Amino acid sequence: MNILSLDTACGDISVSVIKDGRIYMSEPVENTNGKTRSTTIVPVLEHLLKKAELDWNELHALALGAGPGSFTGLRIAAATLAGINSGLKLPIYHLSSLAITACQADADGPVWVLEDARAGEAFVGCYQNDTQIRADVCLSWKDVAALSLGHFCCHGEPPVELNGWTRLPLTIDRSAALAMETQLFSARLNTAGSDLPVYPSPTYLQLSQAERNAHE
CATH code of 2-96+173-215, in short, is: 3.30.420.40
pLDDT of the residue at 29: 67
Q: Where are the domains of the chain?
A: 2-96+173-215, 99-167
| Assigned CATH class of 99-167 | alpha beta
pLDDT of the residue at 145: 86
CA distance 173 to 168: 14
More confident residue, 211 or 136: 136
Residues 6+ apart with CB under 8 A from 163: none
Of the listed ranges 66-70, 102-106, 197-201, 209-213, the one predicted with least confidence: 209-213
High-pLDDT (> 70) share of the chain, %: 89
pLDDT of the residue at 195: 85
Give the model confidence (pLDDT) of 147-184 as tens digits. 888 999 999 899 999 999 999 999 999 999 999 999 99
Please check the confidence at residue 199 and state whether its pLDDT lies above 90: yes
CA 146 to chain centre: 26
CA distance 103 to 126: 11
Helix, strand and coil in the chain, % to nearest 5: 35, 30, 35
Give the model confidence (pLDDT) of 47-64 as tens digits. 999 999 999 999 999 999
Q: Which pTM does this prediction carry?
A: 0.92
Please check the confidence at residue 83 and state whether its pLDDT lies above 90: yes
CA distance 201 to 100: 17
CA distance 108 to 172: 14
pLDDT of the residue at 11: 82
High-pLDDT (> 90) share of the chain, %: 74
Q: Do domains 2-96+173-215 and 99-167 have the same CATH topology?
A: yes
